[in-house]
Amino acid sequence: MTLTNEHRSGEPWLVRTDRLELRAVCADDLAELFRINTDPRTWSHVPEGRHRDEETTRAWIGRAVKSWESFGLGYWTARLPADGTVVGVGGVAFQPASGFWNLYYRLDPAHWGRGYATELSRAAAGAARRHSPEVPVAAWIHTHNAGSRRVAARLGLADRGLRRDPTLGELLHLYTDRQVPPSGA
């Protein structure tokens, strides 16, 4: 994996993995990210999270951009290098309420089952560890989201049990790359 354009002259981070090109999410990604986020299959584990209008996606992109600006790291739009096809979005964003890097991804169902979630997540966790090695990498995962739980395990994240997600307020499995206090998050 190579890391280039680390915010030089305002350029987004660019990461190339074995099969993906990852660029910082930006407003130009609206159409593709809206398409992915309106697909009910991408939200089967949390149907209420599905984006119903472009404004929801636009606001989400705004928060993602703000993460890059505020914390120097955020979510990427994931593309196939050969033709630029968008396969999904993901990365890490700092979660002030927990003090963790929050690992996140959402993939186009047409590209499920190819290992892209693991590849994208591995790049994100690595970037977080290089950027702020003292900050835990965490994934908040619903009990019934078996696919995401498998990805977290492949990354070496350990299930710390059910904890209250400080953003959603729900009891979710907290997977982290290191021990965190039981009351943590």
Long-range CB contact pairs, 107-114, < 8 A, 24+: 107/36, 107/42, 107/78, 108/35, 108/36, 108/39, 108/42, 109/39, 109/41, 109/42, 111/87
Q: Tell me which DSSP letter residue 157 carries.
A: P
pLDDT at position 46: 85
pLDDT one-digit tens code per residue, 35-82: 999 998 988 888 888 899 999 999 999 999 999 999 999 999 999 999
pLDDT one-digit tens code per residue, 87-112: 999 999 999 989 999 999 999 999 99
* Domain annotation for the chain: domains and CATH numbers: 2-93+100-134 (3.40.630.30)
Residue 3 has pLDDT above 70, yes or no: no
Q: Tell me which DSSP letter residue 10 carries.
A: G
| pTM reported for the whole predicted model | 0.89
